[in-house]
Structure 1
Amino acid sequence: MSSSKQPEEPARRIRLTREQRRRQLMDVAWRLIHDEGADALTLGRLSEKAGVTKPVVYDQFDSREGLLAQLYQEFDANQTAIMDDALRACEARLADIATVIASSYVNCVSRQGREIPGIVAALAGSPELAIIKKQYEQGFLEKCRALLAPFSGKGRIPSAALWGMLGAAEALSNAATNGDITPEEATEELFATIVAMVERAAGQSPEA
């Protein structure tokens, strides 16, 4: 009786569903940006890092801009979910709501690391993507307006003030991500900015 071993069968490749493949490619894209920066993110480079052919990547994302838009959309959805969860658990007081807005924004950007500033810069370089980014920003500002307006006395927060708050949020979050300040310092400063904005709109210090 022969003692020779039967040749081993090659490992079967697991065929991913379309949604599973998209999730895989998105995860690889996030890691690629983290390791090499947003400028390195191309569909060709993504196919190399993911170990798939280019047609597989192009079947999911028709262009680099489309992929960047999907990544930013995912970040925005995560940030919104984190904020909504915290809002459901907090008291309807200015101090509590301002804390949720500040901590959610800073923590979400800090958790994502250097990827978000790179994606934001890439979005700004494309007119089409800049429009998408602005739409998400306006949605965030209107959400903040609705949350904070009841504490403003007159029931309104000027748009200029909200855009100023967003600028502060981006700058402070990026500084925390770069290690120039701590996330706690960024959150405290953003909290103070939000409260001051509401108090200025009210013309007096509202009850927290």
Structure 2
Amino acid sequence: MSSIDEHSPPSPRRRLSRQDRQRQLLEVAWRLVREEGSDALTLARLADQAGVTKPIVYDHFITRSGLLAALYQDFDARQTALMDVALEASDATLQSRAAVIASSYIECVFLQGREIPGVIAALTGSPELERIKREYEGIFLDKCRAVLESFAGRKGITQAGLRAMLGAAEALSNAAASGEISADEAKDELLASIVAMVNRTVDTSSS
């Protein structure tokens, strides 16, 4: 005898909340960039890979630029969270705080793999995306300045020094993500660069 369960209709799939749907779409987008590169990332391709209709994807991101910006914001949020937790547990010394900055930056890029360099490269493709990248870079540099300021000389941490630090961080993290160097080598070199940058401000102010 057939049971009622055999003839009952399947349960409808639970609709994701807007936040959960966006999280799903971002995860699929990161996978696409990792497997096929940032050039392959389009809203239509994302809809196909995520198993949703195009209007859903367009509702969340509007344009490809909006999607790329959302990916960068997602990366930045995770990097900030990682850094905040590590700072809370660190000692109030230059070596310890500089190690947190170096480790947090390298670890986040390394964990993201080769996707983030592709997204960052795509962000420089238009003035709008470049502005977004610069905005988030500014927030990161301001945080680093606040963390390191108490260890600097009278003139404080310079913008030029922070930009040099960021350039080193990007180059070293990309090299680690590509396998050219190890993550530990990247962290050690960036740590040394940060400490040297801060110590230069002390030497200058005392001369």
Aligned partners of 2:145 and 2:23: how far apart in 1? 33
SS at match of 1:184: helix
Aligned partners of 1:171 and 1:115: how far apart in 2? 15
Greater share of residues in helix: 2
Aligned partners of 1:3 and 1:142: how far apart in 2? 68
**Deviation at residue 10 of structure 1 after TM alignment:** 4.0
Number of matched pairs: 205
Instruction: Name which of structure 1's ranges 133-142 and 181-190 shifts more when overlaid on structure 2.
Output: 133-142
* 2:150 partner letter: P
1:141-156 maps to which residues of 2 (within 5 A)?
A: 141-154=141-154, 156=156
Aligned partners of 1:27 and 1:141: how far apart in 2? 27
Residue 180 (structure 1) aligns with: 180
Residue 191 (structure 1) aligns with: 191
Residue 18 (structure 1) aligns with: 18
Residue 96 (structure 2) aligns with: 96
**Deviation at residue 55 of structure 1 after TM alignment:** 0.8
Aligned partners of 2:20 and 2:178: how far apart in 1? 32
**Deviation at residue 14 of structure 1 after TM alignment:** 2.2
Aligned partners of 2:200 and 2:94: how far apart in 1? 13
Residue 123 (structure 1) aligns with: 123
Q: Is the 8 A contact 1:42 1:64 kept in 2?
A: yes
Q: Tell me: CA distance 1:3–1:201, structure 2 relative to 1, closer, same or farther (3 Å).
A: closer
Residue 44 (structure 2) aligns with: 44
Residue 110 (structure 1) aligns with: 110
Instruction: Name which of structure 1's ranges 172-181 and 33-42 shifts more when overlaid on structure 2.
Output: 33-42
**Alignment RMSD:** 1.9
Write out per-residue CA displacement over residues 62-105 of structure 1, whole angstroms, 9 at most, x where no aligned residue: 11111111111111111011111111111110000010000000
Write out per-residue CA displacement over residues 166-190 of structure 1, whole angstroms, 9 at most, x where no aligned residue: 0000000000000000000000000
Tell me the TM-score normalized by structure 1: 0.93
Aligned partners of 1:3 and 1:73: how far apart in 2? 53
Q: Is the 8 A contact 1:149 1:155 kept in 2?
A: no
* 1:81 partner letter: A
Q: Tell me: CA distance 1:93–1:155, structure 2 relative to 1, closer, same or farther (3 Å).
A: farther
Q: Tell me: CA distance 1:10–1:164, structure 2 relative to 1, closer, same or farther (3 Å).
A: same
Runs of 4+ that moved beyond 6 A: 2-5
SS at match of 1:203: helix
Q: Tell me: CA distance 1:4–1:112, structure 2 relative to 1, closer, same or farther (3 Å).
A: closer
Instruction: Name which of structure 1's ranges 154-163 and 111-120 shifts more when overlaid on structure 2.
Output: 154-163
Sequence identity (%): 59
Q: Tell me: CA distance 1:186–1:7, structure 2 relative to 1, closer, same or farther (3 Å).
A: same
Q: Could you list the runs of 5+ residues in structure 1 that have no partner in the other structure?
A: none
